[in-house]
Amino acid sequence: MDADVLVIGAGPAGLCAALRLLQLGYRVIIVERQTTPPGNLGEAITGGVANILDFLVVSDLLDAVPHHRALPTRLIWSSRTAEQRPANDSASGTMIARAQFDAALLSRAADRGARCLLSATVRAMARDGEGMRVNVEHGGQHQTFRVRLVLDARGRSAGAQNRIATAPPLLALWCEFEATSMPAETRVEALADGWLWGAPLPNGRYRVMAFCDPATPRRHAPSQPPIWLKAALARSHLFVQCADAVAATELRACAATPSISEHAWQDGVLRLGDAAFALDPLSSSGVEKAMRFSLQAATAIHTAFTDNASAPLAQTYFQQTLIDTAARHCFWTERYYAQAWPAADSPFWQARAQPFPVQTPSATARTLGAARRLLQMQTDRPPSATAIRADTLAHALLAPVFLSQASTWIELPCVVDDRVQLRAALQHPNLERPLAFVEGYDLLSLLHALVEQMSLSTLLSQWSHRMPARTAARIAGWLLNKGVLLSGSESLQPAVTTASALSHR
C-alpha cells in the first residue's frame, strides 16, 4: 500500500479526518482539485470547533487566521420585533476567513506527514484486493496509488445521484460589499417567503444572504434573481440599507437543500462532511458537524484497520452516527422554522416546520424517519423533573432506590479507547438514546449494585469509592429525574411516574 487512506477534498471534513488519522499513526494522501483550498461557504463557526481543534492539537489555529470574535446577533424571528442577543462566550459569534482556515489545516496535515497533492483530480478508482487502486492526475501526470480506503470529502458536489433530500428545496442567493454601512453584528430576519442572514467577513467585506424556495425568485422575475433579492432586502427591517448594494455587486447562488448520502460507506469509499450529509444552513453549524463526524469516522476506520473482524461493527457505528446526526439536525431545524413569525400562514415556512416526507423507499430513508419519530416522541413526553424539598431530603436519602421496570439493556457500538466496541447500554422511554456511559462511567457497573436492595445514601456511598461524591450525587439526581431510578420516597418520584400512579389509584 502507498498509504492507508486517500482523502479527496481539503475542506474541514477531509482535513479533520486526515489530522486524526495521522494522530493515530496512519499514512494519508490528500487530493485537492484547487491550487489551495477554496474555503467554501461557512465562515460563521460554532463554539464546538474550538474543542475539536484542541483535540487535534491545533488550537492555535483559530487565532492564526483572520477572524471576528463574539459578534452579537440581532434577530427578527419569533416576532416582528428585533431582539439583540449578545455572544454567550468568546467562542460563539465567530466569523473566520474560511479559505485561510482550511489552508492552515492543510499545512498542519502536511507538517505531520500527509502527502498533499494540490490542483489534482482523481480520474479513476477501483477495488484492488483488500484495498483500492486510485488514479490521480497531478501536474500533467497520472499516478496510481494503492490505499486501504478512500475518503470522499468533496462537499456537496459528491455523488449527487446517491443523495436523498431531507427537507424541501432551498436556494441561497448572496452578494458582498464594503462593510462600512453595516454594524459589526450578525443579523438574521424571517420574511414571509424566506429568511435573510448577514455578517461582516474578516476581510472587511459584508455578506448578505437570502434563503428561499428556488421557484420564488423565478416567479417574481424570471431569469432575474437580483430583482427578488433587492425587493426582499428593501422590505426587510434589518437589511434595508443593503438593497442598493445588490445592483452594484455580483450576485451568487447555490443549492442549499439538506440531504444525506444513501451509501455513505460502500465499496472501499467512505463519505465525510457534506458528502455524507448536508445540513440546512439555518444552524450555521455545518463546519462543526462535518468535523465532528470526521472524528467519529476516523474511530470507525481505526477499528476496522486494527481488527478485521470488527469491521462490520465499525460500519454499524458509522452508519448509526450518520443517521443520528442527520435526524437530530432535521428535528432541530423543523422546530426552529416552526417558531418563526410567518410560520402560521406561509407555504415556505409550513413546508419546513414539519417532518419532510422522504419519498425514496431506501433503508437510509426508513432509519432516518424512525430516528426522527423517536425524537418527536421524546419531546412530546411530559417533563419528569422533581424538586426535592429540604425537609424531605433525609427521608429521600434513606428510602430504597431501584431501577425502573421500563429499563432494558441492549448491546450498542461505543467508542472505547479510540476504537468501536460493543457495550451494554440502558434503554428507557425517558432517555433520548440508549446510554452506555454517564460522565465517563460505565452505567451497567454503576447500576449493578442495585441487584441488592439499598437506600439512595448507600448507593451514593458505593459510587463515591469510584468517583467524587459530587459526581455521584449529580449522576443519581439525573437518573432519578429521568425516571430511570425510582425512589421509595415520594419526594423523589419523577412527576410523570407519580402522575400515572395516581391516575391508576
Sites of contact with ligand FAD (CB under 6 A):
8-14, 31-34, 37-38, 40-45, 121-122, 153-155, 157, 172, 254, 256, 273-275, 281, 284-287, 290
Query: What percentage of the chain's residues is helix, strand, coil (to nearest 5)?
Result: 40, 25, 30
Q: How far is the CB of 340 from ligand FAD (least distance, A)?
A: 18
Q: How far is the CB of 234 from ligand FAD (least distance, A)?
A: 21
Q: How far is the CB of 104 from ligand FAD (least distance, A)?
A: 13
> Residue 258 has which C-alpha cell?
439538506
Q: What is the maximum alpha-carbon separation in the chain?
A: 81
Q: How far is the CB of 494 from ligand FAD (least distance, A)?
A: 37
Residue 250 C-alpha from the chain's centroid: 31
Q: Within a 13 Å sphere around the CA of 170, how many CA atoms are in the beta-carbon half?
A: 25
Closer residue to ligand FAD (CB): 272 or 368: 272
Q: What CA–CA distance (Å, rounded) separates 480 from 418?
A: 31
Q: How far is the CB of 327 from ligand FAD (least distance, A)?
A: 17
Closer residue to ligand FAD (CB): 61 or 172: 172
Q: How far is the CB of 40 from ligand FAD (least distance, A)?
A: 4
Closer residue to ligand FAD (CB): 153 or 397: 153
Closer residue to ligand FAD (CB): 101 or 317: 101
- For residue 281, give Cα distances in angstroms to 38, 157, 172: 19, 16, 9
Closer residue to ligand FAD (CB): 155 or 198: 155
Q: List CB contacts of 20: < 8 A, sequence separation 6 or more.
A: 56, 294, 295, 298
Q: What CA–CA distance (Å, rounded) separates 265 from 277?
A: 12
Closer residue to ligand FAD (CB): 34 or 464: 34
Closer residue to ligand FAD (CB): 33 or 372: 33
Closer residue to ligand FAD (CB): 152 or 334: 152
| Distance between start and end Cα atoms, the chain | 70
Q: How far is the CB of 222 from ligand FAD (least distance, A)?
A: 23
Query: What is the torsion angle, in degrees rounded to the nearest 10, for the CA atoms of residue 116, residue 121, residue 127 and residue 131?
Result: 0
Locus of grid cell 423507499 = 361
Q: What CA–CA distance (Å, rounded) separates 135 from 188?
A: 45
Closer residue to ligand FAD (CB): 18 or 438: 18
> Residue 442 has which C-alpha cell?
460505565
Handedness of CA 489, 494, 497, 502 (dihedral sign): positive
**Number of CB atoms found within 10 A of residue 163's CB:** 23
Q: Which residues pair with 413 in a beta bridge?
A: 422
Q: How far is the CB of 276 from ligand FAD (least distance, A)?
A: 8
- For residue 481, give Cα distances in angstroms to 21, 225, 430, 462: 39, 52, 10, 20
Closest CA to 33 of 136, 131, 133: 136
Closer residue to ligand FAD (CB): 184 or 344: 184
Residue 55 C-alpha from the chain's centroid: 17
Q: How far is the CB of 447 from ligand FAD (least distance, A)?
A: 38
Q: How far is the CB of 151 from ligand FAD (least distance, A)?
A: 11
Q: How far is the CB of 18 from ligand FAD (least distance, A)?
A: 11
> Residue 213 has which C-alpha cell?
424556495
Closer residue to ligand FAD (CB): 9 or 200: 9
Q: What CA–CA distance (Å, rounded) separates 244 from 315?
A: 52
